[in-house]
Amino acid sequence: VARLVAAARLGRRPRVPGPAGGAVCVQVPTRVRGLQIVTSRFLAAAHRHGLAVHVWTVDDPGEMRRLLDLGVDGIISDRPRVLRGVLTERGAWH
């Protein structure tokens, strides 16, 4: 994750294990100590390496919508009914 964050900020291509190395996703908080982790550049870097991005712990519906608009692949929440409502309004709940 640290390599992806650095690469996204510096515009470089990190050496990150992807699916060939056994990694299929990264699971991250939206921010750490004031540093925004999940950005469009971070998502692009992860997706270029074939990695899905799951974000935790997101309980606010507005933040859920913002992250889905950015392109996260999964959201972990302590409020699953709220998340289901957001996904339902987007036609993404199956």
Query: What angle (nearest 5°) sits at the alpha carbon of residue 58, between those of residues 88 and 16?
Result: 105
Q: What is the pLDDT of residue 49?
A: 84
51: left (phi over 0), alpha (psi -120 to 50) or beta: beta
Is residue 19 included in any domain, yes or no?
Answer: yes
**52-70: pLDDT as tens digits:** 999 999 999 999 999 999 9
Residue 94 lies in a domain: no
Q: What's the number of domains the chain is made of?
A: 1
pTM: 0.82
36: domain CATH number is 3.20.20.190
Residue 29 lies in a domain: yes
Residue 59 placed within a domain: yes
Q: Is residue 50, in this structure, part of any structural domain at all?
A: yes
